[in-house]
Amino acid sequence: MPRAEKDGSSSGTPPESSNQGNDRKSILSAETLSKLAFVREQQEEIIRAASPTWSIPVPRWSLPIPTISMPQRWNPGSLNPFANIKAEISTNLSSLIGQDNFQEALRAMATPHLEPLRLWQESWTEDLSKRFKDLQRAALPPNLRGLDGVGMEEVLNFVEATGIPLYLVPRASIAESLLGAKDSAARRTILGRKFEMIITDCEAVLDRCEDPLFRSQVTFVRAAIAAVRDGHHAAGQALVTNLMDSMLWTLLPAPERQKITGNRRGSTSAALDDLELREAYVMLPIWSVHEAFWRYHGDPIPHTYKRHASVHAVSTRQFNKRNTVQALMVATSLVGFACGL
């Protein structure tokens, strides 16, 4: 039976007559529920005020998350500002409920803790922000981790759109210039002007490739560099383009290889979304330079580096100094990746 009927009142208002004990108990129960609800609201408000809101983009490519050693104050068991407020409210709640100025008394109890909460929040937020920045930096190719303001998505979008690799080569200063270039012409100007420096960067990566399984591939890239240094750019470009093909056959099973090389007209790189992040840095430029080219359909020969045009449309438009250095970068990045760099 509802309490109101049991007490002899249909409205819930305590009757004037007998059984004042039960009536008093009913009134206190309602007040207690109301005050406890207010306590919960105040606690939630404090927690909301002290908890930062984060907007974390989800990358297309899976990101290996390193183990992070959390500071002691991040341990839920040692969040002292919250623990202190909870302990004090729990200890004094019964005495507060009996006061007429309950809300004011509760606020007076919580106020001394607000400044420690604010300071704790600032410290926690600063620590977490730094750790996210460190994580974002660690997600970049190793040659780019010294750059400020460069993000993983920016690099991935760049290598996918341009076919210019940024994994292992080139050095950070050249990569930064390429990322900041306004268009293809500006990027190609950088490739031309930094030609010798980029080749030096390629040689430095090859010096670190010690895996005996890929010793011959390292030798072929060095042979291409030697040809280029002797002024035979076309020979170098042709050699590393064929080396790229050979390595894809060596490294990848047919279904995976077809995803990398299947850059058909109007297609997207969505098939590559299941790649690990390091794989994506290496394979997206290769996907890009495999852009469809059908000579018998009358496609014009591209002046930027493309695998199909290099193989099926030998011409001065496709074989040139800038395309040669880009092809060397693609091959070096792939060889370094295969060697575990």
Q: What is the pLDDT of residue 14?
A: 45
Q: What's the CA gap between 209 and 215, in Å, rounded?
A: 8
> Where in the chain are the domains?
3-138, 152-338
Q: What is the pLDDT of residue 267?
A: 74
Q: What's the CA gap between 59 and 42, in Å, rounded?
A: 37
Q: What is the pLDDT of residue 119?
A: 73
Q: What is the pLDDT of residue 40?
A: 66
Q: Write out residues in the chain with pLDDT < 50, as ranges.
A: 1-28, 52-58, 65-79
Calculate the dihedral angle through the C-alpha atoms of 181, 311, 201, 257, rounding to the nearest 10 degrees. 90
Do you know the residue count of the chain? 341
Q: What's the CA gap between 175 and 118, in Å, rounded?
A: 41
- Angle, helices 233-251 vs 321-338, to 10°: value is 30
Q: What is the pLDDT of residue 107?
A: 74
- Decide: helix, strand or coil at residue 66: coil
Q: What's the CA gap between 164 and 317, in Å, rounded?
A: 18
Q: What is the pLDDT of residue 80?
A: 55
Residues 6+ apart with CB under 8 A from 231: none
The per-residue pLDDT for range 290-325, each reduced to its tens digit, is: 999 988 888 999 999 999 999 999 999 999 999 999
Q: What is the pLDDT of residue 264?
A: 82
Q: What is the pLDDT of residue 271?
A: 75
Q: What's the CA gap between 163 and 157, in Å, rounded?
A: 10
Q: What's the CA gap between 256 and 248, in Å, rounded?
A: 9
Find out whether 110 and 42 touch, Cβ atoms under 8 Å.
Answer: yes
Find out whether 27 and 14 touch, Cβ atoms under 8 Å.
Answer: yes
Q: What's the CA gap between 163 and 279, in Å, rounded?
A: 14
| Cis amide prior to 14 (ω within 30 degrees) | no
Q: What is the pLDDT of residue 274?
A: 84
Q: What is the pLDDT of residue 18?
A: 43
Give the global pTM: 0.67
